[in-house]
Amino acid sequence: MDRQPCICDTALQYALLVLSVTYLKNIRLWLTNSLIFLVMAALVYGAAEYAFVRVFPHLFPVAMVQKFEEPDGILPVLQSSKTGFYFYDYIALAGDSYAMGMGDAMYEQKPNIHQLRFHSAHTIQDLTGKDVMAFGLPGSGSIRGAISNPVSGLHYLRKLVDESFPAPQRILLYFYEGNDLTENWMYYEKTFLPDHSAADYENPAVFDEYVRKVALGRQHLYLAAEAATVKNRLFFTRFVERIFSEQVLGRKFYRKKYPGEFGLIYVPQSHWVPRRSENPVNRAVIAGQTVPLLDNLQGPSMDLSLEQLQHAAGTFSKALAWSRQYFPEAHFTVVYIPSVLSTYQLAGSNIDAQNYFSENTRFDTVSLENRHVWIQSEIKRVCSEQGVPFIDATPDLREAALMQTLHGPNDWNHFNKRGYQVLGESIVRQLPALP
């Protein structure tokens, strides 16, 4: 006999129905809220990624710049010598640490590097109204300064920041008399001679292949751009990841070293660090007084023979020509920066100058001035041959150095704030008008 439904069954079914409807409503509400949360989180995170390199850089302390996985690559957009994120009709500085702005004034900008003006780039921006982006990096000779740094930097920005990132309108190539030619000779010995003959260096096709395979093909920033993934473009994500790994997991990060990145870092420190002495050989006349300087200061590549000087100057010529072909629309100007010892009115007949290849650091002041004149004349001649404007900042710097020191007091390998200001003013005063 079939069982007849009772009121209990009906009640149970009703209860289950109510519970099901309620559960489904809760599930739908939870799913809706979760979706809204995820959408909002994605929007906030996307805004953070967008603003991280476009808005926030002017708020970053100096120390935070090093929290990027590729600090050299993102450095251009963290610079304060610009009015916004994008650069239009901007001036680029290429070269070594002088083009980067290293020196006491940079080190003093704490906690926020963007609050004060300390670099020649800032002076040039203030006087011209143009944004100025510096591609300079320490220890760069002519090939790295004129080719590797600006080409890799721009390539990195186009690959990881914005593919339409424009090339510069002007390029001011800083030539530093103190060690650029020394760097050229060292770079030649370490990166070219192991795989080529000396005669190959004069072959344009061989030199072009060498630049692409070594100067660019082994440059860490260029390689980072070539191997970029979606994650590499997420700067905020990489920043947070690195902070978490360092502060929570205790991991230490070190930039990968790629073969071919040669610079003064490979020279024993004793060869390039100025020495403080009780009775220094180096003295200068400043404000009418004989003032003791440090010993082992940078002179005009006093460590090179005439043959090495000529070869290194040839490297400068080749690098300038190659860079001009790579940036055909940019207007080049070479800026000549004297060495530390060439800047001051020296007192006495002898100097103590850095020597990267031997322990001999004593030279006479006549030899120093002759070497300065030779290098200055040779770089000017190269510029004349290629039709590139040449700016010599030496007279303006020497005039200013008669009244005050333009280097140190801590970092005597680079300008202080006043030194960079004089350099920037000298450049703008002599800068040729664009056609």
CA dist., res. 404 & res. 430, Å (int): 23
Cα-based angle 119, 186, 69 (whole degrees, multiple of 5): 50
Q: Where are the domains of the chain?
A: 7-54, 78-220+256-430
| Among candidate residues 145, 223, 224, 152, the one with its CA nearest the CA of residue 179 | 145
Query: Which range among 110-114, 275-279, 330-334 shows the weakest confidence by mean pLDDT?
Result: 110-114
Q: Which residue(s) pair with 107 in the sheet?
A: none
Q: What is the mean pLDDT of residues 251-277?
A: 56
What DSSP character marks residue 170? Answer: E
pTM for the whole structure: 0.84
Residues 6+ apart with CB under 8 A from 338: 177, 178, 300, 372, 376, 393, 394, 397, 398
Q: Above 70 in pLDDT, residue 64?
A: no
Peptide linkage before 150 cis (omega within 30 of 0): no
Query: Which range among 118-132, 305-319, 388-402 shows the weakest confidence by mean pLDDT?
Result: 118-132
CA dist., res. 137 & res. 128, Å (int): 24
Alpha-carbon distances, residue 19 vs 14, 33, 206 (angstroms): 9, 20, 81
pLDDT band, very low/low/confident/very high, at 205 (cuts 50, 70, 90):
very high
For the domain made up of 78-220+256-430, the CATH class stated in words is alpha beta
pLDDT band, very low/low/confident/very high, at 118 (cuts 50, 70, 90):
confident
For the chain, give the percent of residues with pLDDT over 90.
Answer: 54
Q: What is the mean pLDDT of residues 103-129?
A: 79
Helix residue ranges, H only, 327-432:
340-343, 365-386, 394-401, 417-430
- pLDDT tens sequence across 18-63: 666 677 677 777 778 888 888 898 898 888 877 776 666 555 554 4
Contacts 24+ apart (CB under 8 A), 116-121: 117/80, 118/417, 118/420, 119/81, 119/420, 119/424, 120/93, 120/415, 120/420, 120/421, 120/423, 120/424, 120/427, 121/79, 121/81, 121/93, 121/424
CA atoms within 13 A on the CB side of 246: 14
Query: Which range among 157-161, 235-239, 263-267, 381-385 shows the weakest confidence by mean pLDDT?
Result: 263-267
**Contact by Cβ (8 Å): 331, 171:** yes
Cα-based angle 213, 218, 222 (whole degrees, multiple of 5): 100
Per-residue pLDDT, 170: 96
Query: Which range among 89-98, 180-189, 217-226, 250-259 shows the weakest confidence by mean pLDDT?
Result: 250-259
What DSSP character marks residue 391? Answer: E
CA dist., res. 167 & res. 162, Å (int): 12
pLDDT band, very low/low/confident/very high, at 260 (cuts 50, 70, 90):
very low
Per-residue pLDDT, 111: 47
Per-residue pLDDT, 30: 74
Q: Which residue has the higher pLDDT, 71 or 343?
A: 343
Residue 424 burial (C-beta neighbours within 10 Å; 0-12, 13-18, 19+)? buried
Q: Which residue has the higher pLDDT, 233 or 175?
A: 175
pLDDT band, very low/low/confident/very high, at 91 (cuts 50, 70, 90):
very high
Amino acid letter, 6: C
- Write out the two tokens for 358: 């031997």
Q: What is the mean pLDDT of residues 370-398?
A: 98
CA dist., res. 57 & res. 50, Å (int): 12
Query: Which range among 56-65, 131-140, 164-173, 343-352 shows the weakest confidence by mean pLDDT?
Result: 56-65
- Write out the two tokens for 30: 């939870």
Query: Which range among 83-87, 301-305, 321-325 shows the weakest confidence by mean pLDDT?
Result: 83-87
**Contact by Cβ (8 Å): 119, 134:** yes
